[in-house]
Amino acid sequence: MKARSVPQFDPANLLSQMVWFIAIFAVLYFAVVRPTLPKVGRVIDERESRVGADLDAAEKAKGEADVVRARYDEGMTSAREAAQAQVAKAKAEAASAVEARMKDVAARLDAQADAAAATLGAARAAARDSLSATTTELTAQAVARLTGLDVPPAEIAAAIAAQK
């Protein structure tokens, strides 16, 4: 029995297979590929132009966004500087007001201290005068009780003054 080989690999069928291959390839090429290639080319060209336009629009939008960002940064910087200037001005005004108020309070306290010192000095002088009179009177009474002598207050005051 003769071994059968696969028909695709049989050299006797090679020429007919090549003819059918070329015929089918030509039909597919001219019927399918050739009419669709221009359409595919147009689609690819459209996509390239759309992508290019989108990239250009994106670049333009980025440029505009950069300009807006720069304006925003400048606005924020100027607003920050203006706010800092206002804060510094308010601080200076507050410090000036506090300093004026402190001077006013210090002047009032100095006046009150001077008045208190004057009142205290007057009270001391009155107390010394009263103490001197009281000492003289008490000494006169003690001498009168102890010795029974009546010493005039002027002599007692002179004796006390001599002791100082």
* DSSP string over 99-147: HHHHHHHHHHHHHHHHHHHHHHHHHHHHHHHHHHHHHHHHHHHHHHHHH
Kindly state whether residue 164 falls inside one of the protein's structural domains. no
Domain membership of residue 143 (yes or no) is no
Rounded Cα distance, 81 and 92, in Å: 16
Q: Above 90 in pLDDT, residue 159?
A: no
Of the chain, the percentage scoring pLDDT greater than 70 comes to 96
- Longest CA–CA span in the chain (Å) reads 185
Angle between helices 153-163 and 34-147 (to 10 degrees): 130
Q: Does residue 156 contact residue 128 with C-beta atoms inside 8 Å?
A: no
Split at pLDDT 50, 70, 90, the class of 2 is low
Q: What is the pLDDT of residue 36?
A: 87
The reply to whether 5 falls in a domain is no
C-beta neighbour count of 17 within 10 angstroms = 13
Residue 50: both structure tokens together: 């759309």
Asked whether residue 54 is assigned to any structural domain, the reply reads yes
Tally of domains in the chain: 1
Burial class (CB in 10 A: 0-12, 13-18, 19+), 136: buried
Model pLDDT, residue 33: 82
Neighbours of 140 (CB within 10 A): 18
In a domain, 158, yes or no: no
Residue 154 lies in a domain: no
Whether this prediction's pTM lies above 0.75 is answered by no
Domain that holds residue 114: 10-125
pLDDT digits (tens, 9 = 90+) for 70-102: 999 999 999 999 999 999 999 999 999 999 999
